[in-house]
């Protein structure tokens, strides 16, 4: 995975918060985790990278790609960043059924592979075939999570950001969803940033973890060494 460098001040509520995160490229690591307690800046980091939060100053760079640079006025729009983002609340569109949710970010009809191929692959990987014609309001928590993952994968992103994907699920559902997350990690090959405050999840999902505190990295390394 390319290095991710964020050096930014962000207006959060009443005050400005300074972020200085350097997540260097680590060998062939493709899955890294951001770990830390609530308020450590995990979700803010993802929103900065996805373009949902605009810093007041600073830069956001992934590898050689400048996503934001206050000095030169660069601010790549979220639709142009090619970054898949599954937020904690999933934000499935309530007015669209599962199929239309999943196809929302599909590649154009003439693309190779075609949207139909992408849908077939995402459906197989996340076992959502039987859900495609259901309304999102009728889905269980685990089903919603799988649909949100499939929707993000359909855009064929360069980087996939998962924000606490298991946090809102009960213990049983969590253990059922974890294999799907691992399957996404193994089969898709898209670099993945996994955010969690649960050490066991991080150990199972990530090859490398950055421990955050107050918008800064305070420890980094293989999960089994750091956590």
Residues in touch with other proteins (CB under 8 A):
50-52, 77-79, 81-85, 87, 89, 91, 93-95, 104-105, 151-152, 154-155
Give whichever of 49 and 202 is closer to other proteins, judged by the CB atom.
Answer: 49
Enumerate residues 6+ apart whose C-beta is below 8 A from 201. 166, 178, 194
In the numeric block, which tokens belong to residue 88?
């904690």
Give whichever of 94 and 172 is closer to other proteins, judged by the CB atom.
Answer: 94
Give whichever of 148 and 212 is closer to other proteins, judged by the CB atom.
Answer: 148
- The nearest distance, CB 95 to other proteins, in angstroms, is 5
Angle at 111 between CA 105 and CA 113, to 5 degrees: 90
- The nearest distance, CB 154 to other proteins, in angstroms, is 8
**Residue 100 φ/ψ region, left for φ over 0, alpha for ψ in the -120 to 50 degree band, beta for the rest:** alpha
Taking alpha carbons only, the member of 187, 225, 190 closest to residue 207 is: 225
Give whichever of 100 and 216 is closer to other proteins, judged by the CB atom.
Answer: 100
- The nearest distance, CB 28 to other proteins, in angstroms, is 26
- The nearest distance, CB 203 to other proteins, in angstroms, is 28
Residue pair 139/149 in contact by the 8 Å Cβ criterion:
no
The answer, yes or no, to whether the previous bond of 187 is cis (omega within 30 of 0) is no
> Measured between alpha carbons, how far is 160 from 168 in angstroms, rounded to an integer?
19
> Measured between alpha carbons, how far is 34 from 213 in angstroms, rounded to an integer?
10
Give whichever of 51 and 58 is closer to other proteins, judged by the CB atom.
Answer: 51
- The nearest distance, CB 206 to other proteins, in angstroms, is 21
């Amino acid at each position: 995975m390319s290095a991710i460098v964020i050096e930014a001040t962000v207006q959060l509520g009443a005050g400005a918060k300074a972020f200085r995160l350097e997540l260097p490229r680590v060998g062939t690591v493709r899955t890294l985790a951001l770990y830390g307690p609530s308020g450590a800046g995990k979700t803010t980091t993802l929103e900065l990278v996805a373009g949902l939060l605009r810093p007041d100053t600073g830069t956001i760079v992934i590898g050689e790609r400048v996503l934001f640079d206050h000095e030169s006025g660069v601010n790549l729009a979220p639709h142009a960043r090619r970054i898949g983002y599954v937020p904690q609340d999933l934000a499935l569109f309530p007015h669209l059924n599962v199929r239309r949710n999943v196809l929302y970010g599909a590649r154009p009809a003439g693309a190779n592979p075609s949207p139909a191929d992408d849908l077939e692959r995402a459906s197989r990987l996340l076992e959502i075939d039987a859900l495609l014609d259901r309304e999102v309001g009728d889905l269980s928590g685990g089903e919603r999570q799988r649909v949100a993952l499939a929707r993000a994968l359909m855009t064929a992103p360069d980087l996939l950001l998962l924000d606490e994907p298991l946090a809102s699920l009960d213990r049983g559902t969590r253990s059922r969803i974890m294999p799907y997350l691992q399957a996404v990690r193994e089969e898709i090959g898209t670099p993945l940033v996994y955010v969690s405050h649960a050490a066991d999840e991080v150990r199972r999902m990530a090859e490398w973890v950055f421990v955050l505190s107050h918008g800064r990295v305070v420890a980094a390394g293989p999960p089994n060494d750091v956590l």
